[in-house]
Structure 1
Amino acid sequence: METQIKGPGLFLAQFAGADAPFNSLSEIVGWAAGLGYKGVQIPTFDARLFDLDTAANSQTYCDDVKGICHDAGVEITELSTHLQGQLVAVNPVYDEAFDAFAPAHLHGKPAARKDWAIDQMMKAAIASERLGLSHTVSFTGSLAFPFLYPWPQRPAGLVEEAFAELGRRWTPILNHYKDHGQDIGFEIHPGEDVFDGATFEMFVDACGGHEAAMMSSPT
């Protein structure tokens, strides 16, 4: 049976830190390669490893990033926009907690934070295209998840309206990704409105049947 599996991959965000070799792209991919990893998923929300704003505007920068990874002996599997995707849709009960995912000047400004997150998502599609990739990974965000437990009873139509709003926010993003030859794999994760197969299908329906994928994390 034919397979596309090339070897183990690593999500760099889970290891990035203030100290070497975890505080620069060249050092962390060298460290990963030394452990036998063949692929790296690069977070777009940690400028120590990857500057998304620069990548969206500079082919030279993206070529340099590819060169760093190639020289280390690893391939870029995807760009990750988990934190920005989360901020596309935040229930107000989570505002204070999720402010930590945004720049300080956006704290306490949920509307501006959402606009920033959407802009970041759009830039990631362009950066991924510049890197010669076709897949990215993200979260959908959480509008309905605080109402997962069925008591007190949810108002009729609340979940449906939450998914309709997800569709309104994500459809333009998905259109932009398609225009740039990209797709998004949404990680199925507790706390997200898309946390299993059924909610993924609800999300796709809310986006008009748009092409999207599920990402499953073994962690």
Structure 2
Amino acid sequence: MRSITLFTGQFADIPLEILATKAHQWGFDGLELGGHIDLHKASTSQEYCQEILSLLSKNNLKLFAISAHLVGQAVCDHIDERRHRSILPEHVWGDGEPEGVKQRAAKEVIAAAYAAKNLGIKIVTGFTGSSIWHLLYGFPPIDPQQINEGYEDFAKRWKPILDEYKKCDVYFALEVHPSEIAFDIVSAERTLNAIDNHSSFGFNFDPSHFGYQGVDYIEFLCRFKSRIFHVHMKDVDFDWNHPCEAGVFGGHTIFGDPRRFFNFRSLGRGKINFEKIIRTLNQINYQGPLSVEWEDGDMDREVGAQESLQYVRRLDFKRGNIQFDAAFSK
């Protein structure tokens, strides 16, 4: 059975000492740290890393991955103080000059690789940002060269980062997601091509972001089976047969607005076919953790985390090594 972890990003306001105790009491096997770790400090201080590991061990928890989502977003984005300053450490934001922010963000993503190495883990999950997301809809007409330049910019900024990951024997797992350089199957393939299929780059599979777009998330697992480095378990509700007021990308509404086409839900309360996902993960031999990323604005988060854990625990199963009818010949 795979380990079940909690992504701590949605609980970042709770001190790690308290959250670790709660996660243990709830029954999680470990954590994916998001917002509970100083990446720069962890990249240079073994003592700091040991403090984190000891705290988790005291609560019978393991560490499976750390997050560089927020700082990774700034590597390729068009930097906007109103959007980016609040999500970045002050030493990354600096004077706010866009190119400087991008370069310091890249250094921080590299620091995450060294932090992971010091912590004895192999996976950093995160975002990449995108210089061409604003060109998603093709009107006024977009010169194809503009899209090419976006992937060239991604490759220029991320290849040096990924080379450092390779030195650390650590992998970067991009959460394929709107506003990133890869947000569906086609763009994920183009992303890999842009970096010459760099061996240190793969994906953090989160089915919720495929479901509301109408993207085949089972095909994503099959197509990129050797690149599935980490898995987020997150549900989403949508209804293709029910007209709405705000479409697939939300119509500039906030999450939770009932006018939206989709809203994230506690596991088992949305439309994602997790049974099929588990069977496909078995088929592609994914043995990593299943990390609960809980996002449901209508539910108490501690209740939601616990029910999501129990849902995944019931759903997950080990793949058999014999066909059921093979026993008949014995």
Query: What TM-score do the two structures reach when normalised by structure 1?
Result: 0.87
Which residue type is aligned with residue 33 of structure 1? Answer: H
Which residue type is aligned with residue 88 of structure 1? Answer: V
Deviations 1:1-58 (A, max 9, x none): xx6x12x2111111121xxxx1x22211111111111121112xx3xx3222221111
Determine which of 123, 127, 137 is the counterpart of 2:111: 123
Q: Tell me, yes or no, if structure 1 residue 27 matches structure 2 residue 3.
A: no
Question: How far off its partner does 1:175 sit?
Answer: 0.5
Q: Tell me, yes or no, if structure 1 residue 74 matches structure 2 residue 66.
A: no
Residues 81 and 138 of structure 1 are in contact (CA less than 8 Å); yes or no, is this contact kept in structure 2?
Answer: yes
Larger radius of gyration: 2
Aligned equivalent of 2:143: 155
Unaligned runs of 5+ in 1: none
Distance (whole Å) between structure 2 residues aligned to residue 95 and residue 158 of structure 1: 24
Determine which of 46, 51, 63 is the counterpart of 1:64: 51
Q: How does 1:136-215 map to 2 (within 5 A)?
A: 136-211=124-199, 212-215=201-204
Distance (whole Å) between structure 2 residues aligned to residue 174 and residue 157 of structure 1: 25
Question: How far off its partner does 1:184 sit?
Answer: 0.7
Question: How far off its partner does 1:142 sit?
Answer: 1.5
Determine which of 7, 26, 40 is the counterpart of 1:11: 7
Q: Alignment identity in percent? A: 27
Which residue type is aligned with residue 192 of structure 1? Answer: E
Residues 41 and 77 of structure 1 are in contact (CA less than 8 Å); yes or no, is this contact kept in structure 2?
Answer: yes
Deviations 1:160-210 (A, max 9, x none): 110011000000000000000101110011121211122122111111220
Distance (whole Å) between structure 1 residues aligned to residue 112 and residue 32 of structure 2: 13
Question: How far off its partner does 1:110 sit?
Answer: 1.1
Which residue type is aligned with residue 27 of structure 1? Answer: I
Q: How does 1:78-89 map to 2 (within 5 A)?
A: 78-89=65-76
Distance (whole Å) between structure 1 residues aligned to residue 59 and residue 83 of structure 2: 36
Residues 99 and 107 of structure 1 are in contact (CA less than 8 Å); yes or no, is this contact kept in structure 2?
Answer: no
Query: What TM-score do the two structures reach when normalised by structure 2?
Result: 0.59
Aligned equivalent of 2:33: 42
How many residues are matched? 205
Distance (whole Å) between structure 2 residues aligned to residue 206 and residue 95 of structure 1: 28
Higher alpha-carbon deviation: 97-106 or 31-40: 97-106
Superposed CA RMSD: 1.6
Unaligned runs of 5+ in 2: 207-232, 235-330
Deviations 1:53-110 (A, max 9, x none): 2211111211121111111111111010001110101125x55312322245536421
Aligned to 1:185, the other structure's residue is in SS state strand
Distance (whole Å) between structure 1 residues aligned to residue 107 and residue 192 of structure 2: 21
